[in-house]
Chain A
Amino acid sequence: MSDALVFHFDVDGDNFTSAGQASTQVKRNLRQLGLPPAIIRRVSIAMYEGEINMVIHADGGTADVMVTEEYIEIILKDQGPGIANVEQAMQEGFSTATDSIRSLGFGAGMGLPNMKRYTDSMEINTVLGVGTTITMRVNLA
């Protein structure tokens, strides 16, 4: 653990255009580390969906990515409204996004299910009115 690599990003909540910049950078960093392309793709897609969610629903937040020899961990933290019903939010097709978000190509209710699909573990800690922290891991071993 002592030699884990850590990347930290602030995700701007005001700018839909820049959403995904952190994930793009992580993808580049992981490529430089020479990790398998399939792993890189899973990590970057999961993080990208999470980043988009933070911008759409929570006015931004922070993203921390830790790379160890055994796994890659992504921690997405926001101070948004929280998720009222996590079970419902995990269902494919369920979304509280507005039509304007849908017109941008997101809000199909696939974000959280995609994040779970592409990672080996995902934990959601959410408190209404306080914020949400999502911790995802992709195993390397």
Chain B
Amino acid sequence: MKISMIRDLLEADVLCCEECLDSDVYSACGSDMMSDVLAYVKDQAVLLTGLVNPQVIRTAAMMDMKCIVFVRSKKPSAAMVEMAEDDGIVMMASDKRMYDACGTLYVNGLIGTKAVHV
């Protein structure tokens, strides 16, 4: 799925790295617990979260993720947007709730990841 399609499906505002919207992503995960995100490595390219702090961007960067979606109308600070920009991570914000956002992407073909430990 193109990142631009995620934007369209979630009716999200893109906050940075718009030039990367044409990139393809194949899996996603949704969580507010960053340690849970870090526990499973399977090329999750998209992180959906309702947590808003700089560690979200660091977590996504550590995992080589391409896109962060803030759900529930959460808005990151300017400093966070700058961090994501430095790491080349597309950041967007959607009004949808976590369950709806994940479900919308899933039924449109963006699958989750199996719980595969390294």
Contact = CB atoms under 8 A, between A and B. Distances in A.
B64 A17 contact: no
Interface in B32-73: 32-36, 38-39, 41, 49, 51, 53-56, 58-59, 61-64
Given A42-B118, A45-B38, A110-B36, A104 B55 contact: yes
Nearest to A51: B58
Interface residues of A, number: 29
A126 interface: no
B114 interface: no
A139 interface: no
Contacts of B58: 19-20, 23-24, 48
Given A27-B62, A41-B62, A105-B32, A52 B39 contact: no
Contacts of B118: 42, 117-118
A110 B31 CA distance: 14
A114 B62 CA distance: 13
Contacts of B35: 49, 105-111, 114
Interface in B69-118: 117-118
Contacts of A107: 35
Q: Taking chain A's interface residues, is the majority helix, strand, or loop, or is none over half, making it mixed?
A: helix
Contact of B64 (A37, A52, A92): A37
Nearest to A40: B64
Given A17-B53, A52-B55, A118-B118, A27 B39 contact: no
Interface string A29-51: 00000000100011011001100
A34 B38 CA distance: 23
Interface of A: 16-17, 19-20, 23-24, 27, 37, 41-42, 44-45, 48-49, 52, 92, 102, 104-111, 113-114, 117-118
Given A108-B36, A113-B39, A117-B118, 19 more contacts: A16-B53, A24-B61, A27-B61, A41-B64, A44-B62, A104-B55, A105-B33, A105-B49, A105-B51, A105-B53, A105-B55, A106-B35, A108-B33, A108-B35, A109-B35, A110-B36, A114-B35, A114-B38, A118-B118
